[in-house]
Amino acid sequence: MKMIEVNHLKKSFGKLEVLKDINMNVNEQEVVCVIGPSGSGKSTLLRCMNLLEEPTAGDIFIEGDKLTDSKTNINELRQRLGMVFQQFNLFPHMTVMENITLGPKRLKGKSQSEAKKIGTQLLEKVGLVDKGDVYPDKLSGGQKQRVAMARALAMEPHIMLFDEPTSALDPEMVGEVLQVMQNLAEEGMTMTIVTHEMGFAKEVADRVIFMDEGFIVEQGTPAELFDNPQNERTQAFLSKVL
Amino acid sequence: MPSIMETINIILDGLPTLLKGMGVTIEVTVISLILAMVIGLVLGVFSITKSKVLRMISTVFVDIIRGTPLLVQILFIYFGLPSVIDISLTAFSAGVIAITVNAAAYLVEIFRAGINSIDKGQMEAGRSLGFSYGQTMRLIILPQAIRRMIPAFVNQFIVSIKDTSLLSAIGLAELTLSGQSIYAANFHAFEILFAVGVLYFVIIYSLTLLSRWLERRLDVA
């Protein structure tokens, strides 16, 4: 089953055309990494997938539901799409536990004790079980991002979207975040990841998509794309980053 | 130069009237500011929505109210409106309307700036979890924004308290007019106006202390 289907997607900001006719799918339990130079449109593509950016043209389907149809209940649909941001975007006026339980309590009608149980399980999963009562400003970047993942997972999403989840981290924090993502992939989560971590993409992705100047230039398995890139733009990019 | 004892006696004689006026001043202020906060919040949210119509409503309101003197607004509401439409307002209700509308226009800007000061990633995080715009505003944006707004609110509240003295122009027996009516009869303008000033200071300084306590408690970031 296609979890995400993108057809002829275009997105412009004013006169600047950022996405030019994007077609792609993400299958169930598939981990897709999107790579490419800055300004290639990869973050915009990801943000279109949960309508944080409104597509200029084209259609997006999430589990068969048309995201781009104005009759679709976007709030319900977004509950199935977890999103992790580069800048974490934790809620600074709430504790770690409150950050995680806000969605389950307010959107899924969970009781305080049910929500707390979910929260504790997720904190165990991301290795921060002792941080529930702490406010986000007391956490390191890597810890913040792990809390952000727990917060997204608390809604029991069917798909997780990651927008450069390690780009704002100090180098020594990158590993702990990637580890949680890798565990998630191994559990069978469907994931779309915009990333600059080529090592991670190589190891964890089922498929890698290379974007440049608003187009998907090339895609394939990590072996195909990294070891034997066909397009010269892919070759030029990889020679710079690998 | 009158003696200290004389001064104190003059003030004590006038005090019951002054305290009554002070009561009216506080009453007008409290009612007006509660209403103004509601209008300010609604129009403040209007001013940042995508809807052009709502933004226009907010902008026109703010521009008109800020662009005209409060005294003219007060006189317009009390004397102007009843002469063309069939309403009769007491000085008290006209005063409440004028102070409300005036304070609201400034509060709109405070709400707008406060909400805009919150990183847009907060709205995105809320929406991506599945919260509606309204829920995200209420649960995530406003609780953070309002903490930052407290000093600006207090500033506007203080301005509004002082503005109520203009309501003496339509015969509302608030603190200033109460003072005027006393020295019109006993000619002790110095003593009475001194007392009036002290009473305004007491109201405003209490509010200042309250806000400092509140800011400490909320640990404004």
pLDDT digits (tens, 9 = 90+) for B166-203: 999 999 999 999 999 999 999 999 999 999 999 999 99
Q: Does A190 touch chain B (CB under 8 A)?
A: no
- Decide if A81 and B128 are in contact by the 8 Å CB cutoff: yes
What residues pair up with A6 in beta bridges, in sequence order? A24, A60
A window 36-55, beta carbon within 8 A of B: 50, 52
Partners of residue B135 in chain A, C-beta under 8 Å: 106
Which stretch of A101-105, A120-124, B2-6, B13-17 has the lowest confidence by average pLDDT? B2-6
Q: Does A155 touch chain B (CB under 8 A)?
A: yes
> Which distant-in-sequence residues (6+ apart) come within 8 Å of B159 by Cβ?
B103, B106
Q: Identify the segments of chain B with pLDDT beneath 50.
A: 220-221
What residues pair up with A13 in beta bridges, in sequence order? A16
- Decide if A87 and B121 are in contact by the 8 Å CB cutoff: yes
Residues B205/B130, Cβ–Cβ less than 8 Å:
no
pLDDT number for residue A49? 97
CB-defined contacts A:B, below 8 A: 56
- Decide if B129 and A107 are in contact by the 8 Å CB cutoff: yes
Q: Does B144 touch chain A (CB under 8 A)?
A: yes
The ipTM of this complex is: 0.94
Q: What percent of chain A has pLDDT over 70?
A: 100
CB atoms within 10 A of CB B36: 25
Mean pLDDT of A132-155: 97
- Decide if B140 and A91 are in contact by the 8 Å CB cutoff: yes
> If we measure between CA atoms, which residue out of B136, B143, B111 comes closest to residue B122?
B136
pLDDT number for residue A80? 96
What integer best gives the mean pLDDT of chain A? Answer: 96
Q: How far apart are the first and last CA of chain B?
A: 52
pLDDT number for residue A198? 95
pLDDT number for residue B219? 65
Mapped onto helix, strand or coil, the DSSP state of residue B45 is helix
> Which distant-in-sequence residues (6+ apart) come within 8 Å of B123 by Cβ?
B133, B136, B140, B141
* pLDDT tier, A1 (very low <50, low <70, confident <90, very high otherwise): confident
Q: Does B206 touch chain A (CB under 8 A)?
A: no
Q: Nearest C-alpha of chain A: how many angstroms from B221?
A: 9
Partners of residue A92 in chain B, C-beta under 8 Å: 144, 221
Inter-CA distances, B213 with A175, B149, B153, Å = 44, 15, 14
Give the predicted TM-score (pTM) of the model. Answer: 0.86
pLDDT digits (tens, 9 = 90+) for A155-207: 999 999 999 999 999 999 999 999 999 999 999 999 999 999 999 999 999 99
Residues A60/B96, Cβ–Cβ less than 8 Å:
no
Residues B97/B89, Cβ–Cβ less than 8 Å:
yes
Q: Does A109 touch chain B (CB under 8 A)?
A: no
Q: Nearest C-alpha of chain A: how many angstroms from B120?
A: 9
Q: Does A103 touch chain B (CB under 8 A)?
A: yes
Using CB atoms, which residue from A79, A85, A93 is nearest to B121? Answer: A85
Q: Does A83 touch chain B (CB under 8 A)?
A: yes
Q: Nearest C-alpha of chain A: how many angstroms from B43?
A: 25
pLDDT number for residue B1? 65
Distance (Å, rounded) from C-alpha B77 to C-alpha A238?
A: 72
Q: Does A142 touch chain B (CB under 8 A)?
A: no
pLDDT number for residue A149? 98
Q: How far apart are the first and last CA of chain A?
A: 33
Q: Nearest C-alpha of chain B: how many angstroms from A187?
A: 21
Phi, then psi, of A35 in degrees rounded to 5: -120, 165
Q: Does A85 touch chain B (CB under 8 A)?
A: yes
Mean pLDDT of A141-153: 97
